[in-house]
Amino acid sequence: MSSSQACAPVAARRGRLCAGLWMEYQDLLGRPVWGNVTTADERHEGLAALARQARWVTVYYGWRPNLPDEGDNHLIELALAVLDRLDAADAQP
């Protein structure tokens, strides 16, 4: 099986969010770096649309990946939580 075949089922699924990633998106969209490209309301509408389409994942892991940027650890935790759920879904008949 090629890597593209292995990733195809994952690519067809909706995006995933966890509390840490949600808070990071909110922080990023609230920063004064956007200029006149979008309004705050437009950015919040986009984030709300993402929240409506994404599947929320609760991260239960009690360890920290310890990435060089401590603020990015939640991305690894989310990825592992999603993989765990995908494995569990694939095991179901």
Looking at residue 70, what is its pLDDT? 78
64: alpha, beta or left, given left = phi > 0 and alpha = psi -120 to 50? Answer: beta
Residue 76: other Cβ atoms inside 10 A: 16
Residue 25: Cβ-neighbour burial (10 angstroms; 0-12, 13-18, 19+): middle
pLDDT in tens, 38-83: 999 999 999 999 888 888 887 776 666 677 887 888 788 788 777 7
Take residue 58 and report the two structure tokens written for it: 């609760």
Q: Would you kindly state where each structural domain of the chain is located, as residue ranges?
A: 14-91
pLDDT at 3: 40
> For residue 41, which amino acid is it?
D
3-state secondary structure of 16: strand
Question: Tens digit of pLDDT for each residue in 9-45?
Answer: 444 467 888 888 888 889 989 898 888 889 999 999 9
The pTM score is: 0.57
Task: Give CA–CA dist 80/84, Å, rounded.
Answer: 6
